[in-house]
Amino acid sequence: MQRRLAAVLAGAAAMFAVGRAAAHHSFAAEFDANAPFELTGSVTKIEWANPHTFFYIDVKNEKGQYENWALEMGSPNGLMRRGWTRNTLKIGDVVTVTGSRAKDGSFKGNARSVVLSTGQRLFAGSSQPGAEDDAN
Amino acid sequence: MHFGRKLVLGLLSSLTLLPALAQVGHPAKGSWLGFWGPSETERRRILLDLDWRDRQVAGTINPGPNAVKIDRVNIDYDTWTMTIEADMPLSNGKAAPFVATGKLENLGSWVNRRYSGTYRHGDETGTFILTLN
């Protein structure tokens, strides 16, 4: 009976670990440290998830068209350690984000810091090499 | 039963269990982003933040400094037609009734879910197309 239970638990643990590992990636695999950006826009969506939290902002480009950027941050736990709470970002807030753009040129980036609508600046738990020591 | 078979059974059980845990709630729930306007050349950005509260859909139009609270949402579940009603300011600042009626489509898709239809805001009529953000 114990061996049967162990087998079921081992299977569940393996599936859980594989799912998480597939969603995790190195900074260099997806983002270009030589393509920094600073974007200001209003938040349209927030996803608190492991291993990366994402939020989306609407940015108006020089032609007056809207670009909806997906911005990756650290894990929820890492963000909490940097002063974030689940209520720090709200849909509709206007924020300014610095970070590095995705290599594929899509409207996606790795956020390093976020200036909130209150003026407070928070680090985003970026996976960029050198950002590990970012703190408040 | 051999240990190997038990392991396979365990793996298959977790394959079933994990997707079952990933339920996301009412199909209208989420942030919907798109454009609305009286003509193809006059389009304005619109964001709907919808949630499922107290057994009904509720939410906000353009959350932020100019947010408008949605007064009522009705859904005809036979046709997946959703009607949203709110009192929204016109360009002159005076509030006027805003009524949008449209169909929820591609509900099986997480990346291509759509809400499109027509609206009336005061004397203005037009169309809107939103996708789940």
Q: Closest Cα to residue A59, out of A38, A36, A40, A37?
A: A40
Is residue B88 a part of any domain in this protein?
yes
Select the residue of A8, A15, A66 nearest B15 (Cβ to Cβ).
A15
Give the closest-approach CA distance of A111 to chain B in angstroms: 19
User: Tell me, what's the ipTM?
Assistant: 0.76
Cα gap A128→A26, rounded to integer Å: 8
Instruction: Report the DSSP beta bridge partners of residue B33.
Output: B47, B131
| CATH number of the domain where residue B76 is located | 2.40.128
pLDDT tens digits for B75-113?
999 999 999 999 999 989 999 999 999 999 999 887 899
Considering only alpha carbons, which residue of chain B is nearest residue A42? B64
Q: Say yes or no for a CB contact (<8 Å) between B9 and A14.
A: no
**What is the residue type of A13?**
A
Is residue B20 a part of any domain in this protein?
no
What residues in B contact A42, CB-CB < 8 Å?
A: 47, 64
Is residue B32 a part of any domain in this protein?
yes
| Number of structural domains found in chain B | 1
Is residue B44 a part of any domain in this protein?
yes
Chain B interface includes A63 (CB < 8 A): no
Distance between terminal CA atoms of chain A? 51
Q: What is the reported pTM?
A: 0.79
Cα B101 to Cα A54, B33, B46, B104: the distances in Å are: 31, 16, 15, 10
Rg of the Cα trace of chain A?
17
Q: Closest Cα to residue B100, out of B83, B78, B112, B88?
A: B83
pLDDT tens digits for A62-103?
999 999 999 999 999 999 999 999 999 999 999 999 999 999
